[in-house]
């Protein structure tokens, strides 16, 4: 993949709002809460997916979704992308190159789900169990670097510190102190936003490890593999299907990473001892 060269038009949307609350001791004041909006991903005039998402970094969301769901193989297949607010939600309108547009039309896929549901609405069981091509892992991490990656993720979660209501996905690159990170109320959305941000900057997932605040479900492994990330680390545990998918994709899967403790579920060669 290469850097983004297609026209982008996105207006700023508020990720948080202050709303009244009543505390346990009867005090009434305000609390900062995360915003959540219906976001329609529209390709060549046809709605392909409707997600409930935090209304920020929506171009990243659309670009990442396009890549991780196989709608495009390269950002060059997007000719234009714009964010259009409406009364009922937000449309992200993407116009594809003729070739990519024809392929999408042939697939006739419809994905509709709450809070970034990654599998709702797909048309076959085979699609649910899809395995990406094996990932060529380029890095390995020491136990100390795994600890640092989780620590860095927590420090970078500005939106979650304010709201305590969002997930995050980040790319930890050894030797780089600035983690690339995106946040969203939906865990799938956060990972898609990260994928889009990396593609816009021309950064391959091979250069680091994907770090997640959520449990590791099969679709999270599939999306990480789609951006060629050879290591996935999360604070929670994986599902059995996620582990089998990581094994097939040659992804090192690390879960329950908290402090210096973690568990390796697939391809342990990604961890240096």
CB-facing half-sphere around the CA of 206: CA atoms within 13 A: 9
**Tokens 């297949």 sit on residue:** 77
Length of the chain: 273
Beta strand 252-258 pairing with 261-266: antiparallel
As annotated, the active-site residues are 117
Contact between 193 and 187 under an 8 Å Cβ cutoff? The reply is no
C-alpha distance from residue 124 to each of 27, 79, 222, 224, 268 (Å): 52, 29, 16, 21, 32
Contact between 21 and 31 under an 8 Å Cβ cutoff? The reply is yes
């Amino acid at each position: 993949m290469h850097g983004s060269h297609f026209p982008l038009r996105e207006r700023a949307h508020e990720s948080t709002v202050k709303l009244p609350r009543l505390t346990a001791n009867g005090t009434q004041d305000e609390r900062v809460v995360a915003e959540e909006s219906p976001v329609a991903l529209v390709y060549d005039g046809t709605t392909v997916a409707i997600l409930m998402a935090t209304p920020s970094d929506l171009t990243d969301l659309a670009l990442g979704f396009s890549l991780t769901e196989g709608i495009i193989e390269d950002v060059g297949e997007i000719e234009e992308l714009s964010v259009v607010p409406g009364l009922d939600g937000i449309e992200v309108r993407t116009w594809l190159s003729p070739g990519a547009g024809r392929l999408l039309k042939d697939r006739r896929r419809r994905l509709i789900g709450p809070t970034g549901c990654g599998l709702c609405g797909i048309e076959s069981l085979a699609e649910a169990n899809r395995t990406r091509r094996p990932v060529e892992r380029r890095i390995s991490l020491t136990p100390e670097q795994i600890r640092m990656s989780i620590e860095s993720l927590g420090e970078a979660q500005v939106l979650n510190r304010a709201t305590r209501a969002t997930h995050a996905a980040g790319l930890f690159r050894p030797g780089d102190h600035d983690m690339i990170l995106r946040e969203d109320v939906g865990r799938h959305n956060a990972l898609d936003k990260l994928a889009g941000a990396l593609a816009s900057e021309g950064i391959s997932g091979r250069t680091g490890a994907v770090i997640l605040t959520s449990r590791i479900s099969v679709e999270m492994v599939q999306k990480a593999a789609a951006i060629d990330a050879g290591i996935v680390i999360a604070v929670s545990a994986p599902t059995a299907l996620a582990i089998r998918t990581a094994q097939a994709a040659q992804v090192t899967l690390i879960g329950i990473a908290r402090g210096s403790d973690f568990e390796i579920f697939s391809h342990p060669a990604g961890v240096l001892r």
